[in-house]
Structure 1
Amino acid sequence: MNGSVPRVAHLAVYDTVADWEYGHLVVELNTGRFTGVPYQVRTVAESPGPVTTMGGLRLLPDLELADVSPADSALLILPGSAFWDSGGGAPFVAKAAEFLQAGVPVAAICGATAGLARAGLLDARRHTSAAPEYLAATGYRGAAGYVDQPAVADRGLVTAGPQAPVQFAAATLGMLGLASAEHLDAYVGVFHCADPAAFGALTAAA
């Protein structure tokens, strides 16, 4: 990894943010336990007040969204939340567009993919989500690029459905260049497939 790139990942948080969707990813980024490259994970919200997750946890954000710059980040993570399905999240979508324009990766899962779709950010990229019908309901023009896979990475953008937090983590770690394909296969084998045979391969690669 280029030493000039900040090892800081920014996690967007908002009321009803889906706790399970980002958990695997932020653990691996923060600890670096299987990659050897720990990142600082900082939470970002629209305002400085606390937010309440879908699981009832109260989170006090580290930063306000307006203060986040792609120049100071290696990754923007956009989890799902109830507000994405009511057309919310526009400031986070605008920040995602800013990151992508600057060549800084974005990882979006579940409802956040619908927010990106509405803004046209999926129109020219391969992508996935909960289901093709879910994104089609946004009226977006990128249906031809939909891939029926748990997680998809294309040109700096990872997308995934809510049922695939492990694959979301693996695809994002791969996009950041933190692990080989074999290592990531072992990661999915352990944490998604509960395959004990994969654990040896995972720890051997760490």
Structure 2
Amino acid sequence: MTTIYVYILDTFADWELGNVTSELKSGRFFKKDGPQVSLKTVSYSKDPIQSMGGMTIVPDCLIDDVVVSEKNVLLLPGANTWAEPKHSAIIEKASEFLSAGATVGAICGATAALANFGLLNKRAHTSNGPGFLEMFSSNYSGQEFYVDEPSVAGDHLITASSTGGLLWAKQIIERLDVFQADTLEAWYEYFSTGKPEYFYALMGSLPTGDEE
């Protein structure tokens, strides 16, 4: 079982997580006999967290409950509150994940938090455009590893800009290997273009339950 830990903090950008969490939680497009995953929200306390969109969520577990394992994944959304010292514990946990060869996904403001901890200085990454990380992260010196794309998947790190949520979701799903390749491609093309032919391709790619 792979556990997907989703860190939530006040003002987190709920829409940035929507594509990936909805697919990983529902499993509606999973391939037959693929890896089993469990999705858990995690935070620094069990107090309710309010997203930027006004959604209130009670975390499933605490940072100390997070199991660092090569098969597990940690996802970090954007938020306006990343600079608060209480979030340093989850960034330390992200460092442990990367050291263990586990996957960390960070989008928008979460990339600045990683950068300020020095975690982007020697890894391929992206963010909200060149100059963003220098603006918000005094410990950032990884300019030569910056890739100006909406989302970038490195060895164990998947980073995205605030507009790269869909591609970020695709790269996370691909890393987890829970979709068939043709399902993932049709899913991404449909949600990025809205063209009906990709919807039918998506539906046609799904297992019917009749396979031997």
Contact 1:84 1:111 in 2 (8 A): yes
Deviations along 1:10-53, whole A, 9 cap, x unmatched?
11011101110001101111122222345221110101111111
Matched, 1:95 2:93: yes
Structure 2 distance, partners of 1:59, 1:23, is 14
Identity in percent? 37
Q: Match of 1:172, SS? A: helix
Alignment of 1:178-189 (within 5 A): 178-179=178-179, 182-189=182-189
The 2-side partners of 1:180 and 1:72 are apart by: 22
Give 5+ residue unaligned stretches, structure 1: 1-5
Partner of 1:199: 199
Residue 26 of structure 1 corresponds to: 21
Deviation per CA, 1:165-198, whole angstroms, max 9, x where unpaired?
A: 1111001111222346554332221112212222
> What is the alpha-carbon distance in structure 2 between the residues aligned to residue 168 and residue 121 of structure 1?
18
Counterpart AA for 1:177: D
Aligned length: 201
RMSD of aligned residue pairs (Cα, Å)? 2.0
- Give the TM-score normalised by the residue count of structure 1: 0.89
Corresponding position of 1:9: 4
**Separation (CA, whole Å) in 1 of partners of 2:205 and 2:118:** 38
CA distance in 1 between partners of 2:175 and 2:93 (Å): 19
Q: Tell me whether 173-182 or 139-148 shows the greater mean CA deviation.
A: 173-182
3-state SS of 1:25 partner: helix
Instruction: Say if 1:88 and 1:184 are closer, same or farther in 2 by CA, change over 3 A.
Output: farther
The 5-angstrom pairing of residues 44-193 of structure 1 reads 44-71=42-69, 74-84=72-82, 89-137=87-135, 138-139=137-138, 140-179=140-179, 182-193=182-193
Letter in 2 for 1:28: E
The TM-score with structure 2 as length reference comes to: 0.87
Larger radius of gyration: 2
Contact preservation (8 Å) 2:151, 2:160? yes
Q: CA deviation at 1:74?
A: 1.7
1:35 aligns with 2:1: no
1:100-146 deviation per Cα after TM superposition (whole angstroms, max 9, x unaligned): 11111111111000111111111121111111211122241111111
Task: Indicate the SS of the match to 2:193.
Answer: coil
AA at the equivalent of 1:69: V
8 Å CA contact 1:8–1:40 kept in 2: the answer is yes
